[in-house]
Amino acid sequence: MRRPASLRLVVLGVLVPVAILAALGGWMHHPAVVAAGLCVAVLVGLALSKSLLDALDDAVRTARQLATGQFEARMHGSRVAEWGLLSGALHDIGAASDQRDAQLNAALEDAASQRDLFYSIINASNDGLLLYDNDRRLLAANRRCADLLGFSMQDLLNRDTHDLMQALEERCVEPETYHVRLASHFAVPDQPHEDHLLLRAPRRRVLRRHSSPIVNGRGVQGRVFTYTDVTAETDVDRLKSEFVSMASHELRTPLTSVHGALQLALSGSGRLLDPEDRELLEISQANTERLVRLVNDLLDLSKIESGRMPFVVAPVSVAALVEDAARGMQGLASTRGTRITCTVAEGLPDLVGDRDHLMRVVANLLSNAVKYSPPGSVVAITAAMTPEGVEIAVEDEGPGIAPDQFDRLFLPFSRVGAHERQTTGGTGLGLAISRAIIEQHGGRIRVEPRDPTGCRFAFLLAQPDEPTPSLEFREDVA
C-alpha cells in the first residue's frame, strides 16, 4: 500500500515543478536557464515529496499507536498546514480516547469492588444463599450454602443447574416430592415462599428454605433462596413433643381412674354425703374432667404436629360440614342466648381431607364464638369460593381480640384471654390444634378484627392439583 502512494507522490512532486520550469525555460529560449531550472525543480520536488512522505508515515504510525490503545501517541508535527491539522485531529482523538479509557477503567474497578463487596457480604452470612435468574440459572452462591448443601463452591458455581438439582434430590429424605416442592417456589414469581428441606446426606439436616423475588425498576429479575439450618431447633421440638406425649400418656391412666372413682362416689353412696363434702367432690370431678380434656388435647396436638395422627382422607361436602357443625352447636348457643346463622355459597367443590378433623376445627371456632359472644348476638358461619380456594369463616359480635395478640393466638397456652378461659373451661389448645390440622391439610388459618366489634376466624383450603404430600402419607397409615 505504501509503495505506490510514495511513488506517486515522488513522481507528482518532481514532475509538476519540472513541467512548470521547463515551460518557463522554453518560453525564455535559454538552454542554460532550462537546465538550471530543471535541476532546481528536481531538488525542490524531491525535498517536497520526502517531507510529505515523512508526514504521512508519521500520521500512519500515530493512528496505529492510537488503535492499539497508546493514547499518548502524537505526530511529530509538520510545517505543512494541513498536516498540522491532521496532527491536531489525531491528537484530539488520542486525548478523547485516553479520557474514555480512564473512565472505563474507573467503572470496571468500581464494578469489581462492588462485586467483591457483594461476595464478602453474602459470604459473611450465616445462612446459605442462592441467586437464580428468571430462567432458573444459578447466578451466585455463598460458601455457607455450599457447606449446608454439601457441595464444593466449585461444584455449586460451575456445575449445570439441572445436574445440581438432580444431585440435591438424591440427598433429600423425600426425593419424590423434591421437584414439586421446588416448583412451588417459582410458581408465583413476585411472592415469597417457604418450606423445609430435609437432607439425609452428606449428613442429616433440616433446612428452612425461604425464597423471595429479586425486584428492580424493570420488574422481577430472579429469585433469592436462603437456607437456615434449623436441625437443632427441630430436634428440640421433637424431644419436647416426645416428652409431652409421654407425660400425657402417663398422666392419662391415673387421671381416668380418679375420674371414674369420683363419678362412682358421687353417683352411688355419694347421695348420702353431707352437702359440703358433696360439693368438694363435685369440684374435684369438674377439675378432673378438665385435666382429662387437657391431657387428651396435649396428646392430640403432639400427634398432629409430629405427623403421627392418622388422617382418613376423602371428599368432604362443605355444606354438610358447615351445617352439621352449626346444628351441633345449637344447644350451647341457646343456653348462651346467641343465634347461629349459616350461609354456604352455591356449587362449592368438595374439600379433600379428614372429615372428623375438619369438623373439629369448625366446631372449635364456633364454640369459641358462642362462648365469647354476649347474649342476643349473632354468630355467622359462611363458606365461599375465593381465588385461592374454599374459605370457611366464623364471625361473632363478641369483645374481639387485640390485633397485637393475633400472632400469639394460635400458640398453645397463649395467655390471650386467660381470664375468660377460667370461666369457659377451655384448655387453651383449641386454636393450636385447629392450626395444626389445617396446616396438615395444606391450608391456612387466620383471624381478623370485625367492624364494629367481634372477630372473624377463617381457614382456607386450596384444591391442590397435586395431592398434599402429608395427607397422602396419612392415608397410607390409615
- What is the binding site for ligand ADP (CB under 6 A)? 364, 368-369, 372, 396, 398, 401, 409, 416-417, 420-421, 426-432, 455
Please report, for the chain, how many H helices and E strands are present, in that order.
Answer: 15, 12
Residue count of the chain: 478
Contact 427, 294 (CB under 8 A): yes
Q: How far is the CB of 323 from ligand ADP (least distance, A)?
A: 20
Residue closer to ligand ADP, measured from CB, 52 or 432: 432
Least spacing, CB of residue 429 vs ligand ADP, in Å: 6
Among residues 152, 173, 155, 154, the alpha carbon closest in space to that of 164 is found at 155
In this complex, which beta carbon is closest to ligand ADP, that of residue 270 or of residue 328?
Answer: 328
Closest approach of Cβ 432 to ligand ADP, in Å? 6
Shortest distance (Å) from residue 434 CB to ligand ADP = 7
3-state secondary structure of 272: helix
Least distance to ligand ADP, CB of residue 410, Å:
8
User: Shortest approach of ligand ADP to residue 398 CB, angstroms?
Assistant: 5
C-beta closer to ligand ADP: residue 129 or 394: 394
SS3 419: helix
DSSP state of 467: P
**Closest approach of Cβ 430 to ligand ADP, in Å?**
3
- Enter the DSSP assignment of 404: G
Q: Minimum CB separation from ligand ADP for residue 237, in Å?
A: 19
**Which residues partner with 458 through β-bridges?**
393, 446
What one-character DSSP code corresponds to residue 463?
-
On whether the CB atoms of residues 78 and 58 are closer than 8 A, the answer is: yes
SS3 at position 110: helix
**Which CB sits closer to ligand ADP, 90 or 431?**
431
**Closer to ligand ADP by Cβ: residue 98 or 420:** 420
**Coil, helix or strand at residue 329:** coil
In the structure grid, which three cell numbers stand for residue 212, read together?
423471595
Q: What angle do CA 284, 285, 288 make, to 5 degrees?
A: 85
Nearer to ligand ADP, 428 or 464 (CB): 428
3 state SS of 212? strand
**Nearest-approach distance from CB 442 to ligand ADP, in angstroms:** 21
E strands, 303-442, in order: 314-316, 339-344, 351-353, 378-386, 389-395
- Rounded-to-integer distance, Cα 384 and Cα 348, Å: 7
Shorter beta-carbon distance to ligand ADP: residue 207 or 431: 431
Burial label, 186 (beta-carbon count in 10 A; 0-12, 13-18, 19+): middle
**C-beta of 325 vs 369, nearer to ligand ADP:** 369
For ligand ADP, which is the closer residue by CB, 164 or 369?
369
Cell of 446: 387466620
Nearer to ligand ADP, 311 or 372 (CB): 372
Residue with the closest Cβ to ligand ADP? 417
Q: In 3D, which of 135, 315, 153 has the Cα closest to residue 221?
A: 135
Distance in Å, CB of 368 to ligand ADP, minimum: 3
Rank residues 411 and 462 by Cβ distance to ligand ADP and give the closer one: 411
**Angle at alpha carbon of residue 418, lines to 413 and 419, rounded to 5°:** 160
C-alpha cell, 75: 505526530
Please state the closest distance from residue 248 (CB atom) to ligand ADP, in A.
Answer: 16
The conformation of residue 300, written as its DSSP 8-state character, comes to H
| Between 222 and 430, CB nearer to ligand ADP | 430
Closest approach of ligand ADP to the CB of residue 439, in Å: 15
Q: Which long-range contacts (CB under 8 A, 24 or more apart) does 183-189 make?
A: 185/209, 185/211, 185/223, 185/225, 186/136, 186/223, 189/134, 189/213, 189/220, 189/223
